């Protein structure tokens, strides 16, 4: 089977590429590397077909989807209108299925826990709005029988190869490097904010299931672990994994931050067969060890792409 992975230079996309190659699939990738990194694909460069281009360019997308059976859509879409063009290109090319990377940000700051797919979405940011809008396009294309689609709402994904350098970097790689370098951790609030931290291997498993399992078109599913941990616990566990006592600087809370997040993964379990294999603490241990070994190298590579 031939797969296209968009945003393959990204953290999640690059892990999915490796998993597909391990399953002996043919893999084509597309990325303009505006936020993704070429170094993430160095190890597999000779095993993939790389198209360096923008998914907002319709001609580029047409070239990328030609001859492809299924698409794993991990690239961020700055234009909702362009998402319909991408789906239309997939339909014209006879693509069987598209798996779309959505986000738990669609739920907003609602107090109800856990977050489940029947809740009324309440996106607070333009990013969250665009993710939700693209979900609706996917569902409509699936409902009309144009292209099978599955939308996966990710909850706080972490793991090796995540970028610790950008202003939008996730907290785990930043905390790992700060602890390793003896820097105090800057924490907004008192550390009581909770998240359903989800190790990358679990997210890859969900994508492979969504790409290949029959009869799941039209599904929207949360992808998390179904458990939550606060930031104080997170820092404690990272420190234990690295064998270093963290130093924390508590700052005023950041306005607009979601206080608590927890995924109900019933739909993913029952419809997709998803079963997160790597626990939060084990994922942290693997991640901390990876940054101990590769952290300085990653910072250097990420600053030059």
Does residue 108 share a domain with residue 10? yes
Across the range 203-228, mean pLDDT stands at 98
Could you list the residue range(s) of the whole structural domain that residue 166 is in? 158-196+227-258+278-304
Residues 37 and 9 sit within 8 Å (Cβ to Cβ): yes
Q: Is residue 213 part of a domain?
A: yes
Confidence band of 16 (pLDDT split at 50, 70, 90): very high
In this structure, the strands spanning 70-73 and 2-6 are parallel
Confidence band of 304 (pLDDT split at 50, 70, 90): low
- Integer Cα distance of 133 and 136 in angstroms: 5
Q: Residues 278-303: pLDDT tens digits?
A: 999 999 999 999 999 998 888 787 77
Confidence band of 81 (pLDDT split at 50, 70, 90): low
Does residue 148 share a domain with residue 16? yes
How many structural domains does the chain have? 2
Asked whether the predicted pLDDT for residue 63 surpasses 60, the reply is: yes
Distances (CA, A) of 102 to 127, 153, 213, 290: 10, 5, 19, 26
* Domain CATH code at residue 202: 3.40.50.720
Q: Is residue 146 part of a domain?
A: yes
For the chain, percent of residues with pLDDT exceeding 70: 95
Using a cut of 0.85, tell me whether the model's pTM lies above it.
Answer: yes
* Domain CATH code at residue 290: 3.90.25.10
Q: Is residue 145 part of a domain?
A: yes
Kindly report which listed range (19-28, 156-165, 184-193, 251-260) carries the lowest average pLDDT score.
Answer: 251-260
Asked whether the predicted pLDDT for residue 77 surpasses 80, the reply is: no
What's the angle, vertex CA 37, arms to CA 49 and CA 86, rounded to 5? 55
Does residue 163 share a domain with residue 50? no
For the chain, percent of residues with pLDDT exceeding 90: 81
Distances (CA, A) of 267 to 54, 253, 280: 33, 33, 20
Q: Residues 102-160: pLDDT tens digits?
A: 999 999 888 899 999 999 999 988 888 989 999 999 999 999 999 999 999 999 999 99
pLDDT in the model for residue 301? 77
Q: Is residue 270 part of a domain?
A: no
What is the chain's alpha carbon radius of gyration, rounded to the nearest angstrom?
A: 19
Does residue 148 share a domain with residue 87? yes
pLDDT in the model for residue 124? 85
Confidence band of 254 (pLDDT split at 50, 70, 90): confident
């Amino acid at each position: 089977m031939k797969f296209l992975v968009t945003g393959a230079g990204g953290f999640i996309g690059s892990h999915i590429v490796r998993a597909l190659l391990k399953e002996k699939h043919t893999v084509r990738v597309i990325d303009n590397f505006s936020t993704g990194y070429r170094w993430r694909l160095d190890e597999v460069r000779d095993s993939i077909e790389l198209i360096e281009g923008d998914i907002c360019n319709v001609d580029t997308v047409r070239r990328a989807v030609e001859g492809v059976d299924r698409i794993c859509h991990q690239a961020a879409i700055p234009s909702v209108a362009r998402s319909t063009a991408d789906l239309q290109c997939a339909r014209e090319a006879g693509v069987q299925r598209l798996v779309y990377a959505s986000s738990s940000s669609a739920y907003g700051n609602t107090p109800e826990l856990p977050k489940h797919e029947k809740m009324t979405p309440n996106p607070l940011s333009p990013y969250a709005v665009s993710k939700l809008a693209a979900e609706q396009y996917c569902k409509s294309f699936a409902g009309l029988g144009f292209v099978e689609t599955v939308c996966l709402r990710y909850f706080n994904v972490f793991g090796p190869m995540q970028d610790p350098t950008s202003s939008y970097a996730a907290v785990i790689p930043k905390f790992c490097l700060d602890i390793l370098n003896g820097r105090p951790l800057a924490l907004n609030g008192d550390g009581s904010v909770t998240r359903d931290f989800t190790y990358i291997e679990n997210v890859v498993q969900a994508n492979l299931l969504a790409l290949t399992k029959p009869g799941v078109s039209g599904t929207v599913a949360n992808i998390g672990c179904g458990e939550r941990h606060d930031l104080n616990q997170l820092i404690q566990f990272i420190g234990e994994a690295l064998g270093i006592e963290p130093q924390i600087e508590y700052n005023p809370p950041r306005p607009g931050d979601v206080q608590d997040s927890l995924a109900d993964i019933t739909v993913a379990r029952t419809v997709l067969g998803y079963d997160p294999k790597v626990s939060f603490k084990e994922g942290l241990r693997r991640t901390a060890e990876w940054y101990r070994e590769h952290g300085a190298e990653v910072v250097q590579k990420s600053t030059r792409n």
